[in-house]
Amino acid sequence: MSRTITKTDWHPASWQRMPAAQQASYPDQPALDRAVADLSRLPPIVTSWEVDALKDHISKAQRGEAFVLQGGDCAETFDECTSENIVAKLKILLQMSLVMLYGLKKPVVRVGRMAGQYAKPRSADTETRAGNSLPSFRGDLVNRSSFTAADRIPDPQMILRGYERAALTLNFVRSLIDGGFADLHHPEYWDLGWVGHSAMADEYHEIVKSISNSLDFLETISGEAVHKTQRADIYAAHEGLHLLYEQSQTRYLDRRERWYNLTTHFPWIGMRTAAMDGAHVEYFRGIANPMGIKIGPGMTGEWLQDLISVLNPNNEPGRLTLIHRFGSKAIEECLPDMITAVRETGSPVLWVCDPMHGNTESTADGTKTRRFDNIVSELELAFRVHESMGSYLGGVHLELTGENVTECTGGARGLTDGDLARAYKSTVDPRLNYEQAMEVAMRIAGLHHANAKISRKKT
């Protein structure tokens, strides 16, 4: 068993007693206080019913009865809060989940990195260009990306603008789903207009046809509809980084006798903010939401056991998801010790592989990219290591977009470093494009193999 850590006196602002990594310094304290007070009065973005429903889905995935697909941008931006972008993200998540459902023969729980993924951790507090140093860009929730002194000053009003964008995003997603957009009978709604001919899309349409035939068959013989559309069929997740934002929407629900973070269904603790004595762990331990912890090569077995004992002291099912991101080179060495350490705690956890963040590299001209082969290799190794240890890999966490970008190299079209400049839109980490994301989904579903190359054609 891990060491017992006793902590008491939690409240939504108790994290303020601890060192808080990755927080912005706001020069105008009264303006910040006003923004936090405003946000604290506004209605929640999600409800505790939805949060608890997701926890229940995650506990099923922990038992091997479901698979979790988490995906979306590295960072959402206020500018990209548009109908087209939201629909494209929804479509790619729905298409991938359909492929995975078909191949894995298990329910797929869809969780978007969306509706609040606006704050980013940074490796340095300042950025220097041509001898001029300014505060780093920390995401649209904090300041603006353009390199001017005025734009880089953390602006408290952006907390409110972020809350509004998150609410607008989720409102649109919910309306689409309630209106029948996610209905399995109409997968044609999910086609992306720009895709046109692509072997991935062809493969996908074959699967859709086969599912439609099975649905028709089952409904004919049973006389009932097989699939009912459900509210909150797509859950929202973001890194719980900006603690004043998270705190402001943390509410005590008498009915449940627990505190909930109602900015999102599923917040996660990033790699840089998981210190045991840090503010993030203090904040997260008090909320009832299911939560993720990112685990990289710096994590030790003892540290992970301590995190589990503080974040899930009662071994509650559905509560903890461990998102490992070791990189394809380190996973075989690092993951087994983590699985052993977790086992000793007795806590159920959901293991999810993030094959993106451990495989980031720079091209000769300094462009941040990820190689498709490394992403797929880490995923395959993750499945293999878990299986060999009698553990279950129950999900995947990806940075992806439904748009036609060129940010990661490789994949069926064999994108090279030279292709990156063509459509590189991310201001932070590189994302899988539509075809690369579908190929990952097909690999997970066991439907597509490395040698099935698409003839190289420029998009």
Given candidates 319, 357, 371, 443, which one binds ligand PEP under the rule CB under 6 A?
357
Applying the rule CB under 6 A, the residues between 48 and 87 that interact with ligand PEP are: 74
What is the size of the binding site for ligand PEP (CB under 6 A)? 9
Q: Is 448 in the site for ligand PEP (CB under 6 A)?
A: no
Q: Is 429 in the site for Mn ion (CB under 5 A)?
A: yes
CA distance 80 to 101: 29
Contact pattern for ligand PEP over residues 12 through 51, marking x by CB under 6 A? ----------------------------------------
As measured in angstroms, the least distance from the Cβ of 370 to Mn ion is 10
Contact pattern for Mn ion over residues 271 through 290, marking x by CB under 5 A? --------------------
Applying the rule CB under 5 A, the residues between 37 and 76 that interact with Mn ion are: 74
As measured in angstroms, the least distance from the Cβ of 338 to ligand PEP is 14
As measured in angstroms, the least distance from the Cβ of 271 to ligand PEP is 4
Contact pattern for Mn ion over residues 87 through 116, marking x by CB under 5 A? ------------------------------
Q: Is 121 in the site for ligand PEP (CB under 6 A)?
A: yes
Applying the rule CB under 6 A, the residues between 241 and 300 that interact with ligand PEP are: 270-271, 294
Q: Is 239 in the site for Mn ion (CB under 5 A)?
A: no
Q: Is 80 in the site for Mn ion (CB under 5 A)?
A: no
Closest listed residue to residue 172, CA positions, set 75, 90, 73 = 90
Which residues are near ligand PEP by CB under 6 A?
74, 121, 239, 270-271, 294, 325, 357, 429
Site residues (vs Mn ion, CB under 5 A): 74, 429
